[in-house]
Amino acid sequence: MNKSTKIIIGIIVAVIVGIWYGLSKKTTTPTTKETIKIGAMLPLSGKNALNGQYIQQAIILAQEEINQNGGINGKKLEIIFEDDQCDPKVGATIAQKLINVDKVPLVLGPWCSSVALAVAPTFENSKTIMIAEVITPKLTTAGDYIFRVQPTGAFYMKTLAEEVVKSLEIKKAGVMYIGNDYGVSVKDAFVREFENNGGTIVDVEQYMDKQTDFRTELMKILQKNPQAILLASYAQDAGLILKQAKELGINVQFLGVPALENKDLIKIAGEAAEGLIYPYHFNFENPNENVQKFVSSYTSKFGHPPDGFAVLMYDGTYIAAKILEKCNSDTECMKNELYNNTFKRVTEIRFDSNGDPLLPINLKTIKNGQFVPYEK
Amino acid sequence: MISAYLIHLLILIGIYLILSISLQLSVGFTGLLNLGHIAFYAIGAYTSALLALNGFPFWFCFLSAGILAMIFGFLLSLPTNKLKGDYLALATMGFSFVVYAVLLNWTSLTRGPLGLPGIPKPKIFGISFSDNLSFLILVAIIALISYLIIKRITVSPFGKVLEATRDNELLTRVLGKNTFKIKTISLMISAFFAGISGSLYAHYITFIDPSSFTILQLIPVLSIIIIGGLASLKGTIIATIILVLLPEPLRFIGFPSSIVGPARQILYSLILLFILIYKPKGFFGKIELE
């Protein structure tokens, strides 16, 4: 046997022993009696790592609070974090590991739509609860055990359209939307809801990703005399649109989507962003005790304020704790609990029959460069 | 059931094995530094997925995936046949970007960034491969057949001409061999197997989107053939097993949860780095590319 063969055999043996050790350690540890394990799969490296990090911090904060207050039925909550890298293939491996090796009854995440769609059938078949945080409309019909804490774009539009017609008395609106599936689905939802509430859509203009000049589209919409224009956009393009609209002297009410609550919008649009109205699921200035405690302990622990994603998964972790407390690891029972209860912590979440969240959506606006609740 | 986890890993090994031995054929044996391999994989995955979603049977989707990838292999060889080394690498890399951009932007066909969910599990003549164990058997059979075919090619006289083309193209042409044709055939065979591997991937994961087929996804496959050793099929198999399994033991090391993602990746790359420091030609490498 020559040297290289020995080295190779050595490596293979080491890898196999490593897996063996890991597997046996996980299955025979006696501590399983005192802890309840759940999984969390998030993008913790790569280009989406920042979003993953905020959510992970929210989960860690919730976990610490739960354990300080006596855990779940006296057992400590243990969370196994896995990095899915936003890659469906890695996600599939993690799903198998969490289900079969760690035997978790419940998984928080994923955040990436592609991973969520790839792993949803695996979780559904093994009757493992998944509480995801993704926006893709496709997840709605993924199965009975599949839940999410992030509402779809269409859900926000329902509140927006209703409020705009009823309390702002806007009857004629135009829409500008980005030419991808996100833009299209939000636009369709808004048009449907707006017309259902008795409004009229006067014009719909599409623009392309990475476009930087929107004057043509703005002028076209303006000829139809709308009272308001909805921007189904991301923060960067919406910022440019608002800025150019102000330069053109356009004076109509602009409406937005939740994705616009982003510092980039104010950086790009400056004063032009003032007065934009958009729907959102959370208000950081809410005087509610839970909200203020969450925002201040998150900020002091991690050195930066939470974002909208962190808020929802913080609640997601509490929802998980609550159903674990009631059902131990009976996922059938957990599923029914999720469908039949309203969960109140920082936000107030109830799940519809598809596992999509119904939570109170309020209008917000921009005042002096800050995102604040809208008051008429 | 620990075995379900291992079955999943074995399926991934099978899919990667087909992908890496086919890349070994064009890079290791023919000396074509081909960075367009991931594009053939993507073409295979999308062809198979789109056909299956429109109700075609699995065997048809599977073969179409291979054949369409092979046709693209032929098309890619037309403009790149006279290129060598780094230039070929850049041109084929360009091909990868083009395919990626098409998948992302041809939204009426591929649904763009939203991807294709709900790809059915394979069914051949009434036998369903919907659970993972039967899927593993299917993948194992296909991987074995692919291995035997490529092994047969490399030991045949044609395989010797491939290696001669790699080592000294001018001399091979002086001996009366049409090296352009030989390189084209090698690229086409390589593309065919990448295509069927893509098809297996799509039907296994049941969801594909363009982000699974970026040039970054090629790096693990390139690492496999380099660590296994260029022009060595035995080395490729061993390296596939090691590289697919290696991240798994790392999952059981108890890192603090705040650094768990980056720490595992650092450790993974350090191990690969050490292998290459001690075995610069890989495990069974016979040659080094210029």
CA B83: distance to chain centroid? 22
For chain A, positions 250-309, list CB contacts with chain B under 8 A: none
Q: Identify all chain A residues contacting B260, using CB atoms and an 8 Å cutoff.
A: 44, 81-83
Q: What is the pLDDT of residue B131?
A: 84
Q: Is residue A318 part of a domain?
A: yes
* Cα→Cα distances B4→A47, A96, A97, Å: 30, 7, 9
* Same domain membership, residue A248 and residue A314: no
Min distance A108 CA to chain B CA atoms (Å): 14
Give a three-class secondary structure readout of chain A.
Answer: CCHHHHHHHHHHHHHHHHHHHHHHHHHHCHHHHCEEEEEEEECCCCCCHHHHHHHHHHHHHHHHHHHHCCCECCEEEEEEEEECCCCHHHHHHHHHHHHHCCCCCEEECCCCHHHHHHHHHHHHHCCCEEEECCCCHHHHHCCCCEEECCCCHHHHHHHHHHHHHHCCCCCEEEEEEECCHHHHHHHHHHHHHHHHCCCEEEEEEEECCCCCCCHHHHHHHHCCCCCEEEEECCHHHHHHHHHHHHHCCCCCEEECCHHHCCHHHHHHHHHHHCCCEEEECCCCCCCCHHHHHHHHHHHHHHCCCCCHHHHHHHHHHHHHHHHHHHHCCCHHHHHHHHHHCEEECCCEEEECCCCCEECCCEEEEEECCEEEECCC
Question: Which residue is it, tokens 């030609």?
Answer: B281
Q: Identify all chain A residues contacting B197, using CB atoms and an 8 Å cutoff.
A: none
**Cβ <8 Å between B261 and A52:** yes
Q: Which residue of B has its CA nearest to A54?
A: B258
**Cβ <8 Å between A118 and B249:** no
Q: What is the pLDDT of residue A220?
A: 93
Q: What is the pLDDT of residue A29?
A: 46
Structural tokens at position B51? 């056909």
Per DSSP bridges, beta strands A129-132 and A146-148 are parallel
Min distance B143 CA to chain A CA atoms (Å): 19
Task: Among A257, A280, A303, give the residue marking a domain's end.
Answer: A280
Interface contact A181, partner B, CB < 8 A: yes
Task: Among A240, A258, A280, give the residue marking a domain's end.
Answer: A280
In angstroms, the CA B234 to CA B245 distance is 17
Work out the end-to-end distance of chain B between its first and last CA atoms, rounded to an integer number of angstroms.
Answer: 48
> Residues for chain A: how many in total?
376
B157: left (phi over 0), alpha (psi -120 to 50) or beta: alpha
Q: Is residue A24 part of a domain?
A: no
* Same domain membership, residue A322 and residue A228: no
Min distance B138 CA to chain A CA atoms (Å): 19
Helix axes B179-205, B37-53, angle to 10 degrees: 50
Residues 6+ apart with CB under 8 A from B5: A96, A97, A99, A100, A101
* Same domain membership, residue A159 and residue A138: no
Q: Could you tell me which residues of chain B have a Cβ less than 8 Å from any Cβ in chain A?
A: 1-5, 8-9, 12, 107, 111-115, 117, 201, 205-209, 211-212, 238, 241-242, 245-246, 248-249, 251-252, 257-258, 260-262, 264-265, 275, 278-279, 283-284
**Cβ <8 Å between A88 and B9:** no
The DSSP element (H or E) to which B127 belongs, if any, is strand B127-128
**Cβ <8 Å between A97 and B12:** no
**Cβ <8 Å between A96 and B5:** yes
Min distance A115 CA to chain B CA atoms (Å): 9
Task: Among A261, A280, A299, give the residue marking a domain's end.
Answer: A280
Helix axes A215-222, A235-247, angle to 10 degrees: 60
**Cβ <8 Å between B209 and A136:** no
The C-alpha angle A14, A17, A23, rounded to 5 degrees, equals 140
Q: Is residue A370 part of a domain?
A: no
Q: What is the pLDDT of residue A178?
A: 86
- Closest to B23 measured CA to CA, from B202, B214, B204, B235: B235
Q: Is residue A219 part of a domain?
A: yes
What is the interface size between A and B, counted as CB pairs within 8 Å? 121
Q: Identify all chain A residues contacting B283, using CB atoms and an 8 Å cutoff.
A: 4, 7-8
Interface contact A185, partner B, CB < 8 A: no
Question: Which residue is it, tokens 């990090």?
Answer: A53
- The domain ranges of chain B are 2-217
**Cβ <8 Å between A92 and B258:** no
Q: Identify all chain A residues contacting B105, using CB atoms and an 8 Å cutoff.
A: none
Min distance A225 CA to chain B CA atoms (Å): 32
* Same domain membership, residue A164 and residue A141: no
* Same domain membership, residue A38 and residue A137: yes
**Cβ <8 Å between A99 and B4:** yes
Q: Is residue A2 part of a domain?
A: no
Q: What is the pLDDT of residue A30?
A: 46
Q: Is residue A234 part of a domain?
A: yes
Q: Which domain holds residue A255?
A: 154-280
Per DSSP bridges, beta strands A362-367 and A370-373 are antiparallel
> Tens digits of per-residue pLDDT, B47-57?
999 999 999 99
Residues 6+ apart with CB under 8 A from A14: none
In angstroms, the CA B38 to CA B46 distance is 12
The DSSP element (H or E) to which B128 belongs, if any, is strand B127-128
Domain harbouring A295, CATH code: 3.40.50.2300
* Same domain membership, residue A220 and residue A330: no
* Same domain membership, residue A165 and residue A243: yes
* Cα→Cα distances B47→B50, B52, B201, B216, B228, Å: 5, 8, 12, 21, 30
> Tens digits of per-residue pLDDT, B226-266?
999 998 999 999 999 999 998 888 888 877 877 888 888 88
* Same domain membership, residue A312 and residue A249: no
Average pLDDT over residues B6-14: 93
Q: What is the pLDDT of residue A317?
A: 94
In angstroms, the CA B227 to CA B281 distance is 7
Work out the end-to-end distance of chain A between its first and last CA atoms, rounded to an integer number of angstroms.
Answer: 83
**Cβ <8 Å between A88 and B205:** yes
Nearest-by-Cβ selection for A45 from B117, B212, B261: B261
Q: What is the pLDDT of residue B158?
A: 94
Q: Which residues pair with A177 in a beta bridge?
A: A206, A232
CB B222 within 8 A of CB B26: no
Structural domain tally of chain A? 2
**Cβ <8 Å between B261 and A4:** no
Q: Is residue A134 part of a domain?
A: yes
Q: Which residue of A has its CA nearest to B245?
A: A15
- Alpha helix (H) residue ranges in chain B: 2-24, 37-53, 58-80, 85-105, 107-110, 132-155, 157-167, 169-174, 179-205, 218-228, 233-245, 247-250, 260-278
> Tens digits of per-residue pLDDT, B139-170?
999 999 999 999 999 999 999 999 999 999 99
For residue B218, the number of C-alpha atoms closer than 13 Å in the C-beta half-sphere is 23
- Closest to A316 measured CA to CA, from A47, A41, A84, A101: A41
Q: Is residue A5 part of a domain?
A: no
Nearest-by-Cβ selection for A181 from B2, B113, B262: B113
Nearest-by-Cβ selection for B211 from A82, A86, A138: A86
Average pLDDT over residues B63-73: 96
The C-alpha angle A165, A166, A171, rounded to 5 degrees, equals 30
Min distance A93 CA to chain B CA atoms (Å): 7
User: Over 70: is that where the pLDDT of B100 sits?
Assistant: yes
Q: What is the pLDDT along chain A (376 residues), one digit of tens a residue?
A: 577 677 777 777 777 777 777 666 554 444 445 889 999 999 988 778 888 899 999 999 999 999 999 889 889 999 999 998 888 899 999 999 999 889 999 999 899 888 998 899 999 989 999 999 988 788 888 889 999 999 988 889 998 999 899 888 899 999 999 877 778 888 988 999 999 999 999 999 988 877 889 999 999 999 999 999 999 988 888 999 999 999 998 889 999 998 888 888 999 999 999 999 999 988 888 888 889 999 999 999 999 889 888 999 999 999 999 999 998 888 999 999 999 999 988 889 999 999 999 988 889 999 998 898 988 7
> Tens digits of per-residue pLDDT, A181-201?
778 888 988 999 999 999 999
In angstroms, the CA B21 to CA B14 distance is 11
Min distance A79 CA to chain B CA atoms (Å): 9
Min distance A370 CA to chain B CA atoms (Å): 30
User: Over 50: is that where the pLDDT of B18 sits?
Assistant: yes
Interface contact A136, partner B, CB < 8 A: yes
